[in-house]
Structure 1
Amino acid sequence: MLTNGWDHLARKRAAKHFKLNWSEMDERHRLVFETHEEGKLSFEEYLGWVVFFEKRPFTRIQFRDFMFAQSKPYPKMLGLVAQLKAQHGLKIVVVSNESREINAHRIRTFRLDQLVDAFISSCFVGMRKPDIEIFRLALDLAQTAPERAVFIDNTPMFVQIAERLGMRSIHHVDYESTRAKFTSLGLQTNDAT
């Protein structure tokens, strides 16, 4: 429903924009990102280890604002999910690997709490995809059997894990193919968009 929040492409854009050494930033990120996404390292600590371990000509607020600006909506996907939820009475549960601050920003900015029934975010539950337990937790909280769930993700491995748990899955590539896959699963919308 949204672009990735703080993936390697966003980090590369940040390195270029702020004139940071990309390989150094990437290496430092790799050392702490799992701990950060699991909620065990604060946002300020993350920034301190990855960017502000030395004096910079920009502020933490400027860097944070750039990070947050990397999240963009996919309006057609948001609309499709909203339509499917309304027409089929679906529960929507989001499973994500994100830091608390980026997660909160995305939920608030894009009003995801008006569409989503539960957020199983790594920063809240202390585990990340591909840990199979985060998938099981999502099913438990949704009170849904795996065969009644449809898991959607843009990462093929995560789709495969969901399938091994018995969930029907969609490897999201683009709006058209995802919509077609929903239709093939009996989840079509009444409109012609």
Structure 2
Amino acid sequence: MKRAIPITALFVDVGDVLLTNGWDHLARRRAARNFKLDWAEMEERHRLVFETHEEGKLSFEEYVGWVVFYKKRPFTRNQFRDFMFAQSKAYPKMIELVTRLKARHNLKIVVVSNESREVNAYRIRTFRLDRLVDTFISSCFVHMRKPDAEIFRLALDLAQTPAAQAVFIDNTPMFVQIAEGLGIRSIHHVDYESTCARLASFGLHTQQEIQS
């Protein structure tokens, strides 16, 4: 009987997996409503610069300057930044799941995410992700973004893990498909229960699940 290849690394997205999305269209719409901004104009300006911003080639000050503060506003940059950061909330069950899997299976935990440097730093610090995650392959650090397949190859190299021994969790189907194309077993994250079931199918059980 052929033995299953053991999983040694778990690659995981942050937005809409471990935490809410940091600065998605829903958060931007809330910001436009809260600060009485022209939503269509703000969104168009965001669209023109967000990839460069997430790749770490445009600073936070430059980003908000181009997207919001290109004209005089009745609020400050600090007020807008605080609102942006406040959009981030944790998914405690998912964080606890990854924590248990890491402990039980001695997994390397590698974040592969598209995030700007300031939002990324805030989320790592606030939710103490650095206590859980071994390596952050964040777009702002490596100057490339999903869906670029090179970001997954870099994650494999830095984790020193063969593709067949990694599992990737992401909420975006296309990113899941790209990782699968590189030989990484992948899970389209929809909810906690279905992700637990898929992880179990790869042999990644937690003690809690076994006892239940």
Q: Say yes or no: does 1:131 pair with 2:152.
A: no
| Pairing 1:14-163 to 2, within 5 Å after superposition | 14-163=31-180
Using the size of structure 1 for normalisation, the TM-score is 0.98
Q: Quick one: which of 178, 183, 186 aligns to 1:166?
A: 183
In percent, how many aligned pairs have the same letter?
A: 79
Partner Cα distance (2:208, 2:146) in 1: 34
Q: CA separation in 2, counterparts of 1:154 and 1:11?
A: 19
Structure 2: distance between partners of 1:117 and 1:155: 23
2:184 is equivalent to residue 191 of structure 1: no
Q: Normalization by structure 2: what TM-score?
A: 0.90
Q: CA deviation at 1:85?
A: 0.2
Bigger relative contact order, structure 1 or 2, given CA contacts below 8 A and separation 6+? 2
Distance in 1 between the 2:161 and 2:51 partners?
28
Counterpart of 1:121, as a letter, is S
Deviation at residue 88 of structure 1 after TM alignment: 0.3
* Paired AA for residue 134 in structure 2: D
Cα distance in 1, alignment partners of residues 85 and 110 from structure 2: 22
- Secondary structure, in 3 states, of the residue corresponding to 2:70? coil
Two-structure CA RMSD over aligned residues (Å): 0.8
Moved over 4 A (4+): none
Q: Give the residue type in structure 2 aligned to 1:36.
A: H
Q: Which runs of 5+ in 2 are unaligned?
A: 1-17
Q: Distance in 2 between matches of 1:17 and 1:187?
A: 43
Q: Deviations over 1:2-25 (max 9, x none)?
A: 111111111111111111111100
In structure 2, distance between residues paired with 1:14 and 1:47: 12
Q: How many residues align?
A: 193
Deviations 1:165-192 (A, max 9, x none): 0000000001111111111111011114
Q: Which amino acid aligns with 1:100?
A: R
Distance (whole Å) between structure 2 residues aligned to residue 102 and residue 25 of structure 1: 18
